Structure 1
């Protein structure tokens, strides 16, 4: 499969990109190179290879959930520009 300059122009229009003719040509060449590489991968024998969702083994690193004392309010509000009644005071964003 090959990407034409018209395909690049169509995608650029959908993405609302203004591309110069030089950029269209460069992107056409780059996209075709990517597709040619993907075609090489299609030729690989993957029989007996287990499908993977990620190339690296990932696991969640969890710590024990330990209850501890929270910060005192004077330290919490020490750097706050404004606070009132134990809450941060911020400018209104709704009318």
Structure 2
């Protein structure tokens, strides 16, 4: 794919970027270079390469998935303005 002066002007308009006319041609050359590098990358065979999230090989720490009530109900309810029967008490809202 080749980028010309008109394409750069159209991209700038879509991106709402003002570019002066004397800068359009050099910018087209830079964009063509970038696209050339991308084409080089697409030529690389990556079928046998496993996807990775980091260049450093490490494993995340996993904790045991244990169901618990938290044992902090009374401490949490102590901060509530009102509590009844082990739950937060809120005023009724009826219209």
TM-score by length of 2: 0.51
Q: Which residue of 1 aligns with 2:15?
A: 15
Instruction: Report which of the two structures shows the higher radius of gyration computed on alpha carbons.
Output: 2
Gaps of 5+ in 1: 61-95
Q: Which residue of 1 aligns with 2:24?
A: 24
Gaps of 5+ in 2: 61-95
* SS of alignment partner, residue 52 of structure 1: coil
Which segments of structure 1 move beyond 4 Å, counting only runs of 4 or more?
A: 56-60
Aligned residue pairs total 60
Specify whether residues 56 and 4 from structure 1 end up closer, same or farther in structure 2 by C-alpha distance, changes over 3 A only. Answer: farther
Give the superposed CA RMSD.
Answer: 2.3
1:35 aligns with 2:39: no
